[in-house]
Chain A
Amino acid sequence: MIDLYSEEDAIATVARLTHTQLLSFVKARIVTPMQSESGPVYRQIDLVRMELLCELSEQFELDDDALGVVISLIDQLHGVRAELRAFVDAIASEPADVRERISEAVRATRSTG
């Protein structure tokens, strides 16, 4: 069984999270719970995401619009990193001469901009 948290469970687990905040995250669509027959349910990733969102909104005094831009950039960063890691792993399993050619091409691109 996968771990799912109800609204109350989520608020109890994420120390900084208030009910108002949770609703505003969902309304701004920066957190998207799953729907279930018993109402919205949250995954572990939603909880950790809300922890970060609370931190950003509290400490940098960001409103929901600014928060949406920041979290979208963070998501893109992580997405690109995952893609990059997939490429690096794929290249690592290629023969030495292929790896050498690729790293030369990368170096050349870097130096010429």
Chain B
Amino acid sequence: MSDDPYAALGLKKSATAEDIKKAYRKIARTSHPDLNPDDPKAEAKFKAASHAYDLLKDPETRARFDRGEIDASGAEQQERRFYKEYAEAPGNPYRSGQRFEDFGEASDIFAEFMRQKGHRDRQESGQRFNVRGQDQRYALEIPFLEAVNGGTTRITLPNGSALQVKIPKGSNDGQTIRLRGKGEPGYGDGPPGDALITLSVRPHSLFRREGNDILVTLPVTLDEAILGAQVETPTIDGSVKLSIPKGASSGQILRLRGRGVKSIGTKSRGDQKVELRIVAPPEIDEALAEFMENWRKTNAYDPRKGMKI
């Protein structure tokens, strides 16, 4: 970045406040990354110019800079994110052409104009416009098990009415449900918009989800791990008996086939993966300690063999 803010704006030190504003606006017009998304050099140029403008727009700060009391690096800008990084993403709710599909042949800018003005101007002009109602977006937090197993819930709208929402089995965090015709009423004879409900799934204390698989960490006792056992493990549809093999270790993962999530469009369910975690007894009694002492003498083993650096 240039140390000379005047140069960044293409100006001399004698420039007036009006010159500075004009020069900055010109650069913003030609180089703002959101207005010129195809120009790879735009961002650097715009950042330099807006940095310079921040310093020079206030006559007092400018005077201090001119007297050498502060330098150009003074007002360092924070990391700036531009709208264009988000605007082209598929879920962008502001993408035009998506909301006006029922508006017929008219251009989107016309529909956009109607959407903002039609409401007010309709009566004055005496004309009738038929515009599809606006989509209304909702954020809905649901419990983990409701997302996994599906269910029905209600959202209370700001106007006090309620909307029934069916949560499909296997819904994902961030997924959007569309309820046709449940948005705002249309203008004139236009149909109502849709309600778009974005789900936010609350984490569960036991279950985690990885695609269509469910992950659970299952604590087992020392004796269960050594001798093997049948233990109960929670699954998303209740408790299930799980065989712990003889000589199981912490971190070992057992798979319960078909106990995972069934999401829309998939034929079979995912699996539940159970990660074992050996928990030592709360108290080590003398008999156990003594047994281990003796056992170690003849059966010592080194699980860290492969870890030598």
Contact = CB atoms under 8 A, between A and B. Distances in A.
Given A48-B82, A51-B83, A74-B83, A34 B198 contact: yes
B37 A41 contact: no
A34 B139 contact: yes
B31 to A, nearest CB: 13
B209 to A, nearest CB: 12
B83 A68 contact: no
B86 interface: yes
A88 interface: no
A32 B93 contact: yes
Contacts of A29: 115-116, 134
A64 B229 CA distance: 69
A45 B86 contact: yes
Contacts, number: 115
A57 to B, nearest CB: 13
B35 A74 contact: yes
Interface residues of A, number: 39
B173 A75 contact: no
B158 interface: yes
Interface residues of B, number: 49
A28 B120 CA distance: 12
A27 to B, nearest CB: 10
A76 B109 contact: yes
A1 interface: yes
A26 interface: no
Interface string A46-80: 00110110010001100001001101111111110
A59 B24 contact: yes
Interface in B2-27: 24-25
Chain A CB count within 10 A is highest, among B34, B37, B78, B156, for B34
Q: In the A-B complex, list the 9 residue pairs whose CB atoms are closest, starting with the nearest.
A: A78-B87, A36-B139, A45-B86, A34-B139, A34-B137, A82-B88, A72-B112, A52-B83, A79-B95
Interface of B: 24-25, 28, 32, 34-35, 37, 78, 80-90, 92-97, 108-109, 112-113, 115-116, 134, 136-141, 155-158, 173-174, 198, 200-203
Interface of A: 1-2, 4, 15, 28-29, 32-37, 39, 41, 43-45, 48-49, 51-52, 55, 59-60, 65, 68-69, 71-79, 81-82, 85
